[in-house]
Structure 1
């Protein structure tokens, strides 16, 4: 049994017909089912394995690399059995499809399950409707967490964007541009957890003994009194935590802004200078409007980081001393107190807060030709 497809205009002789055999369709299904069966069996093996954890990790990495390669190779090989016109339509779905399915499995399904759990009580046995959502806005701890998240969003984002833009302008005019940018961008190479550990030693405070924390050592060297920077100085301790985000994300903003500034046409800048515009006026009247879309993209990206901030707060204070944020409160409720309904509600609230910012970012990306 064979199915006939006409060539579309522009792909050759319009009277020419291409044939798709039932064997090619059957082969494609067998290849797809074979990939599912083989990788499913490997997954079950790792799930139930009693091997040494190190050996299991090495084998899992090999499976991840080789498995993905074989999936794409075999599906591409099956697609080659089809006529050229149909093959051009199938191949994009082959290369995008596994990624979409994986994202759906790891992100969409858990999000839907979390939404479902948010309508139940702590043990997920009794339906409570919107009671968990109402409880969020009457909980004192949640009020503190929401206030702190707003601090992170406004102070952290504004400082990262402003400093990143300022450093990008200054570094581009420096003879040590590459070195300066490398040093400022370096914190981006480490994780938030590692940054929290580093800054924990910077802020370290030990009453009654010699201060080994860098900041307190400097303070005492100048005759001052050591301070418990992240615990006793409330609410200023939140700003000391936000400083870690600024230290890490300023380099990211600087690199993006520097690339955008280099794209500003030199003839426009020269014309402005010839007309008598100073450097400050040129900066605000020409550079800022020209890179405004980049500024918006960087701003929304950092806002997403600040809305879901978790690692730094958990490592530095564990959410104590009025430094709680929504993500740490979610972790505490769901994993420590086993209050699955309330914890799931916090996760959904965080998702709702992040979604508009991501959509704005994607819209800007589309305007710049990303899609």
Structure 2
């Protein structure tokens, strides 16, 4: 109890000290020339945030980049050797392709699902109940979602899960597609007669992406539903006057109008897919060809103690984020111009 009280007092004193410091700096700005006062007051409140960004983000980022150029012991300079290892090694190269699959398939199907539900659920009977049911998985942690779906994908030696029960009840379905009801869904990379190459994502990776879509679709649905309801009625009425059907109005009027929202949701889901870790860790632990860059970073850095390669993987995630931010900014600007035109 004493330790808790001391920690609480430390936090209170720290915030009080910060408040006194900001207040003092703000008071000092009154004595500056009037042409400088506004800018000085602006920097009074920007300064703490800037310090936090430098200390908590910029310095660790630069240190990570530096570590990625050293060996696994952090002693000898190896240049870009760690990055070469990522793409030369079949296992680590697979993690990159897996992450790209999470980003592309996960984002695409999440956006499509969210748009479809938002469109067809609006103004229908039971709209609130349906949207609540779709949104509920988003309230579950990704680890919890992974554990929940393990019961769906369960196979021998455990009691068979829901998916095996479904495929086992389909007459004539081949055993290698679950026809015998004994398939190990999260362990087997192939499906039917198709066996993916060693460096390509397996069928079990797509099964994990289904869990990701299940958790993200509710978020997308809620945002899209709000955006669709915000489309001005005058635009829709004008489209109907011109002879457009409901379907044509949706594709020609509604979608262009909410394009900015679609881009925002897609970007958010893309970042979540690129950082995919929890679901993989809770289901397969990254084994059986399902590991992603984030999982490989964790295993490499904290389990294998290979700081150089682990830092290179972290830098790779950061590098993949940058073009997404750039494309998102351009798309947002183009969408704003289209709506404002």
Q: TM-score, normalised by structure 1?
A: 0.76
Partner of residue 229 from structure 2, selected from 262, 279, 297: 262
Q: Residue 349 of structure 1: SS of its match in structure 2?
A: helix
Over the aligned positions, Cα root-mean-square deviation in angstroms equals 2.7
Answer with 1 or 2: which has the greater Rg.
Answer: 1
Q: Residue 230 of structure 1: SS of its match in structure 2?
A: coil
Distance in 2 between residues matched to 1:67 and 1:365, nearest whole Å:
39
What's the CA shift string for 1:30-70, capped at 9, x where partnerless?
Answer: xxxxxxxxxxxxxxxxxxxxxx8xx7567546644663355
Query: Residue in 1 aligned with 2:256?
Result: 289
Query: Residue in 1 aligned with 2:22?
Result: 75
1 or 2 for the larger relative contact order (CA 8 Å, sep ≥6)?
A: 2
* Pairwise CA distance, 1:362: 5.0
* Pairwise CA distance, 1:245: 0.9
After TM superposition, the structure 1 stretch with the greater mean CA deviation from structure 2, 170-179 or 349-358, is: 170-179
What's the CA shift string for 1:335-364, capped at 9, x where partnerless?
Answer: 111111111111111110012213444566
CA 1:306/1:61 → structure 2, altered by over 3 Å: closer, same or farther? farther
CA 1:146/1:80 → structure 2, altered by over 3 Å: closer, same or farther? same
Partner of residue 250 from structure 1, selected from 208, 211, 217: 217
Query: Residue in 2 aligned with 1:152?
Result: 102
Distance in 2 between residues matched to 1:332 and 1:273, nearest whole Å:
57
Distance in 2 between residues matched to 1:66 and 1:190, nearest whole Å:
35
Distance in 1 between residues matched to 2:9 and 2:147, nearest whole Å:
31
Distance in 2 between residues matched to 1:297 and 1:319, nearest whole Å:
29
Please state if 1:227 is matched with 2:183. Answer: yes
CA 1:163/1:78 → structure 2, altered by over 3 Å: closer, same or farther? same
CA 1:152/1:64 → structure 2, altered by over 3 Å: closer, same or farther? farther
CA 1:72/1:319 → structure 2, altered by over 3 Å: closer, same or farther? same
Query: Residue in 2 aligned with 1:33?
Result: none
Distance in 2 between residues matched to 1:222 and 1:205, nearest whole Å:
17
Partner of residue 41 from structure 2, selected from 91, 96, 115: 91
Distance in 1 between residues matched to 2:147 and 2:12, nearest whole Å:
32
Contact 1:163-1:250 within 8 A present in 2 as well:
yes
Distance in 1 between residues matched to 2:136 and 2:81, nearest whole Å:
45
| Structural mapping, 1:160-171, within 5 Å | 160-171=110-121
Contact 1:301-1:361 within 8 A present in 2 as well:
no
CA 1:214/1:115 → structure 2, altered by over 3 Å: closer, same or farther? same
Distance in 2 between residues matched to 1:314 and 1:155, nearest whole Å:
19
Contact 1:334-1:340 within 8 A present in 2 as well:
yes
Query: Residue in 1 aligned with 2:150?
Result: 200
Figure out how many residues of one structure are paired with residues of the other and give that number. Answer: 314
After TM superposition, the structure 1 stretch with the greater mean CA deviation from structure 2, 103-112 or 220-229, is: 220-229
Please state if 1:308 is matched with 2:291. Answer: no
| Structural mapping, 1:1-371, within 5 Å | 56=3, 60=7, 63-64=10-11, 67-68=14-15, 70-83=17-30, 85=34, 88-207=38-157, 210-211=159-160, 213-217=161-165, 225-234=181-190, 235-362=202-329
Q: Residue 249 of structure 1: SS of its match in structure 2?
A: helix
Q: Residue 221 of structure 2: SS of its match in structure 1?
A: helix
Distance in 2 between residues matched to 1:262 and 1:315, nearest whole Å:
37
Distance in 1 between residues matched to 2:328 and 2:12, nearest whole Å:
31
Distance in 2 between residues matched to 1:366 and 1:205, nearest whole Å:
49
Distance in 1 between residues matched to 2:8 and 2:155, nearest whole Å:
41
* Pairwise CA distance, 1:100: 2.7
Distance in 1 between residues matched to 2:71 and 2:290, nearest whole Å:
27
Query: Residue in 2 aligned with 1:32?
Result: none
